[in-house]
Amino acid sequence: MLEFILGTLVEKEEGWAVIEAMGLGFKVAVPLSTYYRLPSPGEKCRLWTHLHQGDRSTSLYGFATPQERELFTILLGIPRLGPKTALAVVSHFTLGDLWKAVKKEDLERLKKVPGIGEKTAQRLLVELKGDLPRKAKVITPSPPWEATLFSALGNLGYTRKEIRKALEKSGIGPDMEEEEMIRRCLKVLGGHLG
């Protein structure tokens, strides 16, 4: 229903952000992994969204990448696991990292997530053991620098296909500074590196 919000970041705090789009201000709950990637207030911002209809209220959740949102929706499918706990898990795990923890039955790592005790950690292992690989489209996620580039260039209006092509042609690598990566991609997108 609501795939993403693209607008101007008005305000941000750990756990939430306010984005103005079409004259409306949307308060969106975000995991820490997204919060740390948000731009400065006043800059353009895109968040992939999930609208959650609870018993008492409706809440909007936002994520820096579709993979984060996918993990959130997988977690919401676990009985008695609410959005607050699912958001805490997304704050601490990528899809690939959670899959590794589940495969290794790493209860201690799961228990480090705020709000997850022994019983919830065991339930996560049981529920996700056979389900996560089937539900997750991407078990090995893109490197963090690549997700950052997709977010930054996507906020400038480029499509995923255009960005993917620029990544292939620009000759960038994980050892480069983020600004240099963006600069090289923009040169390709502008046609300067052919």
Q: Which CATH number fits the domain that encloses residue 44?
A: 2.40.50.140
Least-confidence region, from 1-10, 22-31, 140-149, 177-186: 140-149
Check: CB of residue 154 under 8 Å from CB of residue 185: no
Residues 102 and 125 in one domain: yes
Last residue of a domain, one of 12, 42, 63: 63
- Please give the model's pTM, rounded to 2 decimal places: 0.66
Distance CA 48, CA 28 (A): 10
pLDDT > 50? residue 123: yes
Indicate if the pLDDT at residue 150 is higher than 90: no
Residues 10 and 54 in one domain: yes
Q: Which of the two residues, 165 and 6, has the higher pLDDT score?
A: 6
- pLDDT tens digit sequence for 4-18: 999 999 999 999 999
The tens digit of pLDDT for each residue in 35-57 reads 999 999 999 999 999 998 877 88
CB 61 within 8 A of CB 30: yes
Q: Identify whether residues 92 and 104 lie together within a single domain.
A: yes
When divided into structural domains, the chain yields a total of 3
Q: Which domain holds residue 168?
A: 144-189
Q: Rounded to the nearest 5°, which phi and psi values hold at 41?
A: -55, 140
Q: Is residue 33 part of a domain?
A: yes
Q: Hunting for tokens 């898990």 — which residue is that?
A: 89
- In terms of domains, do 152 and 185 share one? yes
Contact 69, 63 (CB under 8 A): yes
**Who wins on pLDDT, 57 or 83?**
83
